[in-house]
Structure 1
Amino acid sequence: MSRRFVVLFLAFFTICIGGIGFFLFHHFKKSEVKSVVSSEYMNEQKWIKSYGKDQDIQYLSESIGQYMTYLLLIEDHAEFNQQVDVLKKNYLVEKDGQVYIKWQLAEGTATNALVDDLRIIEALSEGGELFQEPSYSELAAKLKKTIELKQSISGMMVDFYDWELEKATTTLHLSYLNHNVLQAFESTKTDAYLHLLRGAVDSPFFYEIYDVENKVYQAADQKNVNMIDQLLIAIQYHKWTGKVPTEFDQWLKKELDSKGKLFGAYQKGSLEPAVPYESSAVYALGVLYFFETGDPSYADVLHELLLKQPPFERDPDFKTIHFFDYMYSKTADELWKQRDGSY
């Protein structure tokens, strides 16, 4: 065997081992989330708990939608299909030809939640295309039809519908908006949503609620703002208007530059923190906000802060980590990795 052949063989072997190692590491990092969800948050029926504990358990449609969104990112058809089955068997209610999603699995539940429905519709629509499963798209279309028929006031969606009382609320939480789904609704009036979000600016923050019937903005709290709501609204503001919410954006960057962190809530008057704690969901949504507005340097800053939060600790206590926070954290992390190209 010639020396040149040995050198070439060793080089080829090294490349192969490196590639296999990269694949296995990549695969492990993605399966780690699935393993945690399965062992810490799921019961035997594959229902997802709001916390990784065995008392005061809630099973929410919010959790299914969040997990389905993550599974689309990692292109896991089998696990995605499993959650679609859970949705069909446990959360769907059919009445008078319409199909509704119960916002939680509990006796007497007769209402849905717009934010969760839109997230599930988006996941089903994307899943139908990605996995070439027409049944997902068909279910998305049925759910979409129900919302348009039962939860629309003057072409604008509202928070929920009660199918027992046959009555919809008149309020809309702006954090519930989902541009990707609503823009495709036949009843959607784009100008109405543009006007809605532009008028919601309450410098530097946003009003959280709009009474669609009376055309009045409302604050969720008179003194403080919750940063999860504010970031969700800011993301939708950019999606609908195509513009950065200037005052909010400037305040957010200033807060990061001066304090090196974000808190879970802020006072409206002083703009100072209203709580002493940070939030993994806030950092995750911050990453998504700066991706949305095209500012990757700040997305990197927030991603670094996110990695110091409980969902990324060596031995996290899942009994104290809400599934909402866990999944937003892992979804933002996965998106950051895919955009950054590193694992």
Structure 2
Amino acid sequence: MTKKRITLWTVLLFVTAVGLIYAPKDSEKAVDTVEKHYTNDYGMIHAYPDDPASSYLSESAGLYMQYLNQTKNKKAFAEQADLVSQYFVTQDTEQQHIKWRLENTTANALIDDVRIIDAMVTAASLFETPAYKDLADQWTGVLADTQQQNGIYVDYYDWKRDNAASRITLSYITPELTSVLPDTRKTEHILTNLDRSGVFFPKYYDTGTKSYHRQDEVNMIDQLLIALNRLHAGASSPAFHKWIIQEWQQNRLYGRYDRDTLDPAVEYEALAVYALFVMYLQESNAPGKAQEVEERMQALKDEMNPDNLHFFDYIYDKLAGHYEKERKPQ
């Protein structure tokens, strides 16, 4: 049976009529930067500044919506929520699916969906707009119906092929996932039941073979996300924690590392890596070290060409600046 669709047009009109809850000046500046350099004429976020031909990702929209919740920007949130509903949500299928990108895809990405759903649930209460929760509930139901294998949530669902992935990327098992989705115990167990003897975490878990898969070269964004996810789930990662503190004290953090040698595999640093490291340190009750990393972030920003700054790096820098410890490790 086709479900009644809920739109956000009336919500947007209502929010515009009520007016804007003003955020602090630094967040106003960030929103101004996004609107001037990272959005097209319709307000949709593209990957690189002043380049409307670059990719449009649901990831970008979700991260921005999280930031707008943090800074209590009611009007800008309503605009982004409406754009997601209009452009990223399928309109030609019985169930509503969120496309992971606008261009040529019939699949979603679990982490992006969950981030958007969580942002909508938060905004429903924060901005007293129940329609956000109604939409979030619809999308949650679709994920629960289509995106599990053997009781484990998986990376994506392709609605054209009616085919779900057979793996879950560990960095996707976020606190938001366990908060907004039903029956996540088996999925969370995959995150917390790791062999903690090695420094780096596996990349993903295969639901068919029931095994973890490791890659020779690790991405530090993935690694820090997994470490953060584990902290939120009440699981420590002593080997990783010891290594990353030592690496920071002796060197800098780079974008990728060799799993076996623990040496940097690339020469670049990334704002998003440092932003996630700041969050990890705050969750690890090390605010002094977090301040050191923030200083390096500022120096890195001064060195970088802003024309090449991907939205992921830009918004994670802003999210780190407003990060609050909503969930503490046990």
Same fold (TM over 0.5): yes
Say what the alpha-carbon RMSD is for the aligned residues. Answer: 2.2
**Pick aligned residue for 2:308 from 320, 323, 331:** 320
Matches within 5 A, 1:147-226: 147-189=143-185, 192-199=187-194, 201=196, 203-219=198-214, 221-222=215-216, 224-226=217-219
Give the AA of the match of 2:288: S
CA contact (8 A) 1:209 1:217 kept: yes
Give the AA of the match of 2:87: N
Larger C-alpha radius of gyration, 1 or 2? 1
Is the alpha carbon distance of 1:90 and 1:211 closer, same or farther for their aligned partners in structure 2, counting shifts above 3 Å? same
Whole-angstrom distance in 1 between the partners of 2:235 and 2:184 = 20
SS of equivalent to 2:90: strand
Matching residue of 2:40: 43
SS of equivalent to 1:67: helix
Deviation string, structure 1 residues 39-90 (Cα, Å, up to 9, x no partner): 1100110010011143641111001001000001110000000001101110
SS of equivalent to 2:106: coil
**Pick aligned residue for 2:243 from 236, 251, 255:** 251
**Pick aligned residue for 2:51 from 51, 54, 74:** 54
Matching residue of 2:4: none
Matching residue of 2:29: 32
CA shift for structure 1 position 105: 0.9
SS of equivalent to 1:65: helix
Give the AA of the match of 1:215: K
The answer to whether residue 252 in structure 2 is matched with residue 281 in structure 1 is: no
Give the AA of the match of 1:210: Y
SS of equivalent to 1:269: coil
Is the alpha carbon distance of 1:27 and 1:179 closer, same or farther for their aligned partners in structure 2, counting shifts above 3 Å? closer
Whole-angstrom distance in 1 between the partners of 2:66 and 2:223 = 21
Whole-angstrom distance in 2 between the partners of 1:66 and 1:110 = 21
Matching residue of 2:327: none
SS of equivalent to 1:42: coil
The answer to whether residue 320 in structure 2 is matched with residue 332 in structure 1 is: yes
Query: Percent identity between the aligned chains?
Result: 33
Bigger drift between 291-300 and 70-79 goes to 291-300
CA contact (8 A) 1:53 1:318 kept: no
**Pick aligned residue for 1:83 from 80, 103, 107:** 80
Deviation string, structure 1 residues 9-40 (Cα, Å, up to 9, x no partner): xxxxxxxxxxxxxxx9x832111101110111
Name the count of aligned residue pairs. Answer: 305
CA shift for structure 1 position 294: 2.2
The answer to whether residue 68 in structure 2 is matched with residue 71 in structure 1 is: yes
**Pick aligned residue for 2:118 from 101, 118, 122:** 122
The answer to whether residue 251 in structure 2 is matched with residue 270 in structure 1 is: no
**Pick aligned residue for 1:234 from 202, 227, 233:** 227
Whole-angstrom distance in 2 between the partners of 1:185 and 1:248 = 28
Matching residue of 1:301: 292
CA contact (8 A) 1:200 1:207 kept: no
Matches within 5 A, 1:11-30: 27-30=24-27
SS of equivalent to 2:307: coil
CA shift for structure 1 position 293: 2.3
**Pick aligned residue for 1:110 from 106, 110, 114:** 106
Structure 1: gaps (5+ residues): 1-23, 337-343
Is the alpha carbon distance of 1:29 and 1:237 closer, same or farther for their aligned partners in structure 2, counting shifts above 3 Å? same
SS of equivalent to 1:285: helix
Whole-angstrom distance in 1 between the partners of 2:44 and 2:180 = 30
Whole-angstrom distance in 2 between the partners of 1:324 and 1:71 = 15
Structure 2: gaps (5+ residues): 1-21, 325-330
Whole-angstrom distance in 2 between the partners of 1:180 and 1:59 = 22
Give the AA of the match of 2:39: M
Deviation string, structure 1 residues 245-298 (Cα, Å, up to 9, x no partner): 100000011111222x21111112221211111111100000111122222122
Whole-angstrom distance in 2 between the partners of 1:333 and 1:73 = 10
Deviation string, structure 1 residues 148-187 (Cα, Å, up to 9, x no partner): 1100112211010011111111111111112233244322
Matching residue of 1:11: none
SS of equivalent to 1:101: coil
SS of equivalent to 1:205: coil
Whole-angstrom distance in 1 between the partners of 2:181 and 2:40 = 35
Give the AA of the match of 1:257: Q
